[in-house]
Amino acid sequence: MSKFSWYFIPYDPTEGIRQTLLDTGYKSYDPFPGGSGSPIGKVTRLRLFVSPVIDGWHKVLMALEDTFPAELQAALPDLLTAQLLDDYHFQVGVGGHWGLETLTPYLRSDCSLDTVQQAATGPVQVAPPVSPELANLPPDIQQMAQQSGVKAVQVDKMMDKMSKRIMKKLPEDDTKQEQVRAALQASQGANWQSAAGQHLRAVMACLTVPEQWYRPDWQSLVNAYQVARQQQRKMPLLPGDDAMLKQVTDALDYSPLYFYLKA
């Protein structure tokens, strides 16, 4: 299982992120329709999106295979980070410091540190049996799929179809294809029924973050944003593009921050 990270901050960090990365030596690029294209050669990429304000928070999404730079973490002392490390471990923290005690500024009025401690260590609920494919989906999607009678094989076929579609859109570049393949594999690894997944959800429920803090996921947002940019340029849509747009209907309200650092 790959590590999953979620980032939240109570103000718009877009310009701060951009300036910090430029000052650190990164250069910006725009790989989407109408943009400048992707960098060529051996580079380190950092791909981010900043959400519009949602319940007083901005969510920062990062490509699953990228690494959050220490310089950027230092420039965002109010950044709340939640990480699902594996089926048994998670961690949360603020401003680069880990620990439940760092969450105090962001607790809901009806929660205390004792409440958070209980959420982080208490017994997990025994959930109804869920297929491996459904277990990796967000909790609300799991419930909808089960209520609708969606079978595991249907989910598996859908994921396979989406993966092939994404790969076909990429140029024949082995490095990029490997990166995307890794991201697709990682995107199926968040087990929300695991002990760590349930504990993390319980802890986050004690905070003032949006209720559906885990949505949208990175790949759904990238897909929807790509199609929305195509629409802006009056480019014809392909079968399946409408479904991607419906996954994140406000994709164009997110700010892409794509940067690279030459090796």
Average pLDDT of the residues in 190-201: 89
Q: What per-residue confidence (pLDDT) applies to 3?
A: 83
Half-sphere exposure of 94 (CA within 13 A, CB side): 13
- How many residues does this entry show for the chain? 263
169/240: higher pLDDT: 240
Q: What per-residue confidence (pLDDT) applies to 48?
A: 98
Supply 188's token pair. Answer: 């199926």
Burial of 81 (0-12, 13-18, 19+ CB in 10 A): buried
Q: What per-residue confidence (pLDDT) applies to 111?
A: 96
| pLDDT tens figures, 139-186 | 556 566 655 555 544 555 555 566 566 656 666 554 455 455 545 544
Would the pTM of this model clear 0.85, i.e. be above it?
A: no
Average pLDDT of the residues in 249-254: 97
**Which residue, 69, 99, 107, 70, is CA-closest to 82?**
99
Q: Which helix (H) or strand (E) holds 229?
A: helix 218-232
Residue ranges of domains in the chain: 4-262
First to last CA, the chain: 28
